[in-house]
Amino acid sequence: MSELWRLSAHAAGEGLRAREFTAVELTESVLARVEAVEPRVNAYITRMDGIALEQAREADARFAAGTATPLTGIPFAVKDLIVTKGVRTTAGSRMLENFIPPYDSHVAAQLKRAGAVMVGKANMDEFAMGSSTEHSAFGPTANPWDTGRVPGGSSGGSAAAVAAGECLAALGSDTGGSIRQPAALCGVVGLDPTYGRVSRYGIVAFGSSLDQVGPIGRDVEDVAAILDGIGGHDPRDSTSDPAPSPDMRHYLGRDVRGMRLAAPREYFGDGIEPGVRARVEEALARLERLGCEVDTDLSLPMTEHALAVYYLIAPSEASSNLARYDGVKYGLSARGGSMWENMERTRAAGFGEEVKRRIMLGAYALSAGYYDQFYLKAQRVRTLIAREFRDAFARYDALVTPTAPTVAFPRGAKLDDPYAMYLNDALTLPASVAGLPALSLPCGLSEGLPVGLQIIGDVGAEGAILRIGHALERDLGQANRLAPLP
């Protein structure tokens, strides 16, 4: 029973329902694993051991009463921009270091309603601005495959915790790749749902037209079950899709023969490491053997502009969203002068360098005389990118690409070069800009480190990409592959 932390979420659920072990025993195993490896990984900002054990006892009572759900008793990590009642929510920033919310976000409430167990609040790049989880005010997170390397970002703590066995599943958020890229670098599965599929109520905002909460798990079945648990309409979020959310697990195990896939040329350019390219091409060959039709001649030329579009729209929205942190209502407050001096001191002390960089970039793009030239033009190009994807999905069921251009890189290697850091998200940004669902799953190793494959679907087509991902995962034998962290 001591290594129950090695189980996938759905395997653990089966064991719990069969009374092979209890939710308390499962949670104690995970907490022991956290105690053993957390000093090397730093996946958590705030641990919730006492709350987790209390929730595990409640889960056991639900099993006894016959009211359990697929997520009951499953130990989760929750990214620390997801508001949790009575438990501090920092968004990885000194600005919110002591903020204890008086309410739950929609997704936190959904996990509680399902009987899940919250192990802790996962580390992240400050306000979700970063690609390596090196921009956290609470120290960097290490990749459990190689602790000298980054886990990706901004949901690096969530992905690292799943890969290291410090939880069985996690929630992250994805604005431009922040679930998929760390999932790829840590060798786990991550899903960025269609924009509006999951409520953003109670999520610390970064880019409101891009932010989306999604699951990270050990395999495709795990993320499908989690999406079933957190998806659906929420009237408190004006962008929430009012249509009923389908049962995602219904799509798993279906035959993929005859499905039409494309591997767009722009996603296989010069910046892709040879090992990454080789693993993805091998996966494409496997999909062909499974009966899919794979087209490697598709061109999506507008998607090359997604990086520029994203780094105008997201910082612009961030500069507006982060204006609320003024040292007056809540959060850090540095006082000692006039109102304007106090605000200046508060923001100088509370925000890290990357956050300040993006606030200034966004404020400039929105300023008088530049709004039309930058922000408005970016929104127009965004429409063209979405239209190009729409035309592609009239011909194909899904697009298949690498998730990240490289495997995990050494810590500190790109900290002094923001543009090189931003390029890590070049392959995930287009789907985010268009509001499309995208799945990342492991497709092998390069230099002993995980490679992620991305499957992008049309609006609302999570079922199709989960179906393809599940079939490929079973063929690859990559499910529930933990990092080799002693």
What is the C-alpha to C-alpha distance for residues 199 and 58, in angstroms, rounded to an integer?
A: 26
Please, which residues have CB within 8 angstroms of residue 20's CB and are 6 or more apart in sequence?
Answer: none
What is the C-alpha to C-alpha distance for residues 196 and 199, in angstroms, rounded to an integer?
A: 7
Closest by Cα among 165, 152, 129, 126 to 40: 165
User: Any idea what DSSP says for residue 226?
Assistant: H
What is the C-alpha to C-alpha distance for residues 344 and 356, in angstroms, rounded to an integer?
A: 12
Annotated catalytic residue, options 29, 93, 136, 154: 154
What is the C-alpha to C-alpha distance for residues 339 and 385, in angstroms, rounded to an integer?
A: 43
Burial zone of 194 (CB within 10 Å; 0-12 exposed, 13-18 middle, 19+ buried): buried
What is the C-alpha to C-alpha distance for residues 124 and 139, in angstroms, rounded to an integer?
A: 9
What is the C-alpha to C-alpha distance for residues 44 and 225, in angstroms, rounded to an integer?
A: 23
Q: How far is CA 259 from the centre of its chain?
A: 27
Burial zone of 85 (CB within 10 Å; 0-12 exposed, 13-18 middle, 19+ buried): middle
What are the tokens at 406? 């490289």
What are the tokens at 137? 């005010």
**Bridging pattern class, strands 293-295 and 260-262:** parallel
Query: Per residue, what are the HEC states of 112-132?
Result: HHHCCEEEEEECCCHHHCCCC
Asked about 79 being catalytic, the answer comes back as: yes
8: left (phi over 0), alpha (psi -120 to 50) or beta: beta
Annotated catalytic residue, options 178, 240, 319, 440: 178
Closest by Cα among 381, 484, 486 to 163: 484
Contact 449, 406 (CB under 8 A): no
User: Exposure pattern of 92-125 as b/e (b: 16+ CB <10 Å)?
Assistant: bbbbbbebebeebbbbbbbbbebbbbbbbbbbbb
What is the C-alpha to C-alpha distance for residues 264 and 150, in angstroms, rounded to an integer?
A: 28
Asked about 154 being catalytic, the answer comes back as: yes
* Helices and strands (DSSP H and E) totals, the chain: 15, 11
Residues with catalytic roles: 79, 154, 178
